[in-house]
Amino acid sequence: MAQVALKRAGGVAYREAEPGRPEHLPVLCLHGWPQSSYMWRHLLPALASAGRRALAPDLPGFGDSSADQPSTWERHVEAVERFRREIGLERVVLVVHDTGGAIGLRWACDHPDAVAGLVISNTGFFPDYEWTEIARMMRTPTQGEALVNSVSREALATLLAAVSSGIDERAVDEYFKPFSTAEGRRGMLELYRSFDLDELKPYQGRLAALEVPALILWGQQDDYLPSDYAARFASEIPGAKLVSLESAHHFLFEDEPERCAQEVTEFLRHVA
């Protein structure tokens, strides 16, 4: 199995697994909140073993990447494009999860020539998206500050353990990083408060317009997102393949890493 290396490019930390001989287009994986590129630790080597260069940046303010303030939605989308250019990637298969979906799918629609395929997991990209209770708190002045300032490592471990069976102590250490600095806490609030769902209205129909293969890989026991989001993505993207993991929750790549890697690599056998 290929090794995963932690690297830096243009101020962004990222994890990469390289194949012995690249045979297919590379894969770009974007994490959600409060995770980092560490969430892809099982998928990256599996992709490399299948002949693909696999990369996953720590989005600004998460993991080992410094915040790029103001840490707005738009600036995160711009950061993805800067990273792609810095690394020298042309076309990629995009894999997204959680808030990485809002960021990555917007980037994909803005740069259609750079996208060869999509893997969409437990996220939303709809103007009528329903905010979770935690998201509503983070978007609310004073409440958001009180929330992120109160999260200790132990509190985060308890929160994550309640919704995932696969997040171990090392993962908690990685995902606590944005909570550990004032810059990181401010960046998380800026990101959540910058999400304007009206900005998604012009993007409706544009995932289908990409005309690329798509896999909708979904943890069916998600405690945060409505279960019909998976079917909605599948119906809006012609030819999309929908795979539901009945026992997995929101953090499906932590809950069932081997199954997720298997489904993604199998899907990519049919992508350039």
Crossing angle of helices 182-194 and 73-87, rounded to 10°: 110
Q: Is pLDDT above 90 for 232? A: yes
pLDDT band at 207 (very low <50, low <70, confident <90, very high): very high
> What kind and span of H or E run contains 56?
strand 54-57
pLDDT band at 20 (very low <50, low <70, confident <90, very high): confident
31-41 average pLDDT score: 98
Alpha carbon 102 to its chain centroid, in Å, reads 9
Task: Of 67, 66, 47, 65, give the one whose Cα is nearest residue 2.
Answer: 47
Strands, sheet with 5-9, edge to edge from the N-terminal-most edge strand: 5-9, 12-17, 54-57, 27-30, 92-97, 115-121, 214-219, 241-245
pTM, to two decimals: 0.97
43-56 average pLDDT score: 97
CA distance 107 to 234: 19
130-153 average pLDDT score: 96
Residue 2: what pLDDT? Answer: 84
